[in-house]
């Protein structure tokens, strides 16, 4: 076999292989976009989480005294409330809104409690769900927005 015929055969084989590769991967891309699985909605009773936080620490007669709050949150209630108020003024995302069917969304205390617990204890975002009733993705979003807002609000005053 001469060299020219061998090169022609090889180039034909390479073209076939490249063509098959492209067809295979374009089919995978199309089929993978069609096979996306929708996450199942989990009713977390976010109102119960908000009521639990309120009754435990912020009600006129709270379940736990102030020194429990300090120990669990690593800050005083006054400092926590100051942070909450400044966040509410600075970033509309931290205000309580209503969802599409008119239910109250997560309260500011829930969002901040989720973040403070993550920061104070170093717990994973999905661990917050049982007490605060916030899912993992929302807890992560709270942490991101909280940190960026805190830097914007208190950066020059407190951070070096």
Determine the pLDDT at residue 87.
93
Query: Is residue 4 over pLDDT 60?
Result: no
Please, which residues bridge with residue 104 across strands? 98
Q: Is the Cβ–Cβ distance between 120 and 73 less than 8 Å?
A: yes
Average pLDDT across the chain, whole number: 81
Inter-residue long-range contacts of 79-86, CB under 8 Å, 24+ positions, other chains counted: 80/112, 80/116, 83/112, 83/150, 84/108, 84/109, 84/112, 86/153, 86/154
Query: Is residue 11 over pLDDT 60?
Result: no
Please, which residues bridge with residue 98 across strands? 104
Q: Indicate if the alpha-carbon torsion angle 73, 76, 77, 82 is positive or negative.
A: negative
pLDDT in tens, 86-96: 999 998 888 88
């Amino acid at each position: 076999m001469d060299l020219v015929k061998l090169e022609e055969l090889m180039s034909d084989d390479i073209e076939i292989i490249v063509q098959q590769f492209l067809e295979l991967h374009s089919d995978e891309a199309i089929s993978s976009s069609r096979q996306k699985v929708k996450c199942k909605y989990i009713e977390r009773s976010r109102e119960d989480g908000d009521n639990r936080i309120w009754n435990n620490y912020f009600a006129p007669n709270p379940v736990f005294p102030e020194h429990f709050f300090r120990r669990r949150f690593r800050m005083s209630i006054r400092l926590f409330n100051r942070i909450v108020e400044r966040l509410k003024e600075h970033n509309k995302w931290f205000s309580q809104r209503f969802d599409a069917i008119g239910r109250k969304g997560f309260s500011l205390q829930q969002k901040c409690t989720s973040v403070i617990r993550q920061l104070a204890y170093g717990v994973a975002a999905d661990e917050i769900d049982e007490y605060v009733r916030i899912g993992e993705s929302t807890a992560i979003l709270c942490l991101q927005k909280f940190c960026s807002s805190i830097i914007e609000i208190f950066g020059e005053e407190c951070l070096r």
